[in-house]
């Protein structure tokens, strides 16, 4: 064992998977204008997957391919008898307080912001406007009941995002390592393994510092999820080890784990392809990644990430 590695650890009892999807278009049709069309991934397959890795609690992320119609999410939450949590998608122009009350009673505790729909992936002003409007709409539920979930790839945006997040009355969660590419990913070279931020442009290094400061300040959370969106070095994704440590060291009480099952295609792999053509899922060694990740953390940090932190974020689900 390398001197800087912790021992391998099992997934602890009470563990959460805080980010995954269910796609059953034969039961719940996808929305028009979606940015991609996933293959079928059923509720039964999800349950089998979670059991195989030792997860007890799930937080279902409503697929953006369904748009803001969350009929499927409510159906799936009902199948867990109140023990699951959900992340919805909202149309702020039409959603009523009565519908939000229904969502809350069903176990919904977070809102995904669809930056694709609003052409906001590369526009920080639209991003911050969506965060601010959504937070204002959900403020009546207060902390820690609801949160906002975002996914965006621009490190240089974090000084501006920090302002909006710290002003938000509810927490904000950023997905998938904040989409920070590991050295192998950015260099498109599996031999390129750098365990610090030196390979990032100066503006990105400054943005990453601000992201970590925002984590420390406490209203931002981060999902250590979907490492294949940031690294080509599966299953251990060793060029992300420094990022795992950076985020955990910044605030071990603000990191959670997510599988991103059933592993939809990476954004860069969709360029030039039809959004209505069914795409296959990626093959990911989830158990291999979990084992490798366990060696990057202490036992206390591991327990926090899997159990205590998601219990706090998702309102202490049973």
- Per-residue model confidence as pLDDT tens digits over 150-170: 999 999 999 999 999 999 999
Q: How confident is the model at residue 143 (pLDDT cuts 50, 70, 90)?
A: low
User: DSSP strand E in the chain: where?
Assistant: 16-20, 37-38, 57-61, 85-89, 108-112, 147-150, 172-174, 220-225, 255-258, 278-279
Instruction: Return d(Cα 24, Cα 260) in angstroms, integer.
Output: 16
pLDDT averaged over every residue in the chain: 93
Calculate mean pLDDT across residues 95-104: 93
pLDDT > 90? residue 144: no
Look at residue 9 and tell me if it is in a domain.
Answer: no
Q: Which residue has the tokens 């697929």?
A: 63
Look at residue 118 and tell me if it is in a domain.
Answer: yes
pLDDT > 80? residue 4: no
Look at residue 10 and tell me if it is in a domain.
Answer: no
**By mean pLDDT, which of 253-262, 264-273, 279-288 is the weakest?**
264-273
Look at residue 135 and tell me if it is in a domain.
Answer: yes
pLDDT > 80? residue 2: no
Question: For residue 271, what pLDDT is reported?
Answer: 76
Question: For residue 213, what pLDDT is reported?
Answer: 98
Look at residue 5 and tell me if it is in a domain.
Answer: no
pTM of the full structure = 0.94
* Ordered alpha helix ranges (H), 20-157: 43-53, 71-78, 97-106, 124-138
Q: What are phi and psi of 38, to 5 degrees?
A: -80, 160
**pLDDT tens per residue across span 103-133:** 999 999 999 999 988 999 999 999 999 999 9
Question: For residue 1, what pLDDT is reported?
Answer: 38
Instruction: Return d(Cα 65, Cα 49) in angstroms, integer.
Output: 22
pLDDT > 80? residue 207: yes
Expressed as residue numbers, the domain containing 273 is 16-315
**pLDDT tens per residue across span 235-255:** 999 999 999 999 999 999 999
Look at residue 136 and tell me if it is in a domain.
Answer: yes
Q: How confident is the model at residue 316 (pLDDT cuts 50, 70, 90)?
A: low
Q: How confident is the model at residue 318 (pLDDT cuts 50, 70, 90)?
A: very low
Share of the chain above pLDDT 90, in %: 85
CATH number (domain holding residue 152): 3.20.20.140
Look at residue 41 and tell me if it is in a domain.
Answer: yes
Q: How confident is the model at residue 9 (pLDDT cuts 50, 70, 90)?
A: very high
Strands of the 147-150 sheet, one edge to the other: 16-20, 57-61, 85-89, 108-112, 147-150, 172-174, 220-225, 255-258
pLDDT > 90? residue 176: yes
**What are the Cα distances from residue 240, in Å, to 10, 116, 161?**
20, 26, 23
Domain count along the chain: 1
Share of the chain above pLDDT 70, in %: 97
Instruction: Return d(Cα 55, Cα 49) in angstroms, integer.
Output: 9
Q: How confident is the model at residue 83 (pLDDT cuts 50, 70, 90)?
A: confident
């Amino acid at each position: 064992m390398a001197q800087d590695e912790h021992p391998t650890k099992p997934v602890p009892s009470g563990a959460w998977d805080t980010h995954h999807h269910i796609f059953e278009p034969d039961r719940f049709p996808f929305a028009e204008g979606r940015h991609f069309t996933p293959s079928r991934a059923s509720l039964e397959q999800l349950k089998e997957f979670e059991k195989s890795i030792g997860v007890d609690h799930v937080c279902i992320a409503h697929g953006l391919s369904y748009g803001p119609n969350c009929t499927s999410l409510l159906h799936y939450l009902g199948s867990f008898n109140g023990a699951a949590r959900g992340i919805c998608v909202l149309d702020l122009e039409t959603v009523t307080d009565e519908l939000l009350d229904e969502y809350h009673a069903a176990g919904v505790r977070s809102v995904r912001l669809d930056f694709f729909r609003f052409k906001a992936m590369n526009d920080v002003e639209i991003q911050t406007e969506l965060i601010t409007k959504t937070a204002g709409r959900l403020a009546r539920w207060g902390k820690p009941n609801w949160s906002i979930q975002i996914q965006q790839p621009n490190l240089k945006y974090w000084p501006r995002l920090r302002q909006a997040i710290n002003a938000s009355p509810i927490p904000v969660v950023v997905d998938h390592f904040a989409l920070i590419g590991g050295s192998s990913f950015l260099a498109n070279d599996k031999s390129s393994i750098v365990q610090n931020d030196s390979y990032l442009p100066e503006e990105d290094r400054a943005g990453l510092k601000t992201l970590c400061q925002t984590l420390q300040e406490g209203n931002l959370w981060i999902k250590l999820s979907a490492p294949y969106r940031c690294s080509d070095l599966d299953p251990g994704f060793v060029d992300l080890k420094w990022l795992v440590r950076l985020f955990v060291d910044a605030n071990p009480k603000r990191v959670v784990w997510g599988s991103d099952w059933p592993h939809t295609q990476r954004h860069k792999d969709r360029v030039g392809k039809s959004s209505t053509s069914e795409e296959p899922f990626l093959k990911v060694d989830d158990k291999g990644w979990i084992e490798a990740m366990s060696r990057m953390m202490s036992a206390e940090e591991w327990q926090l990430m899997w159990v205590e932190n998601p219990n706090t974020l998702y309102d202490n689900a049973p």
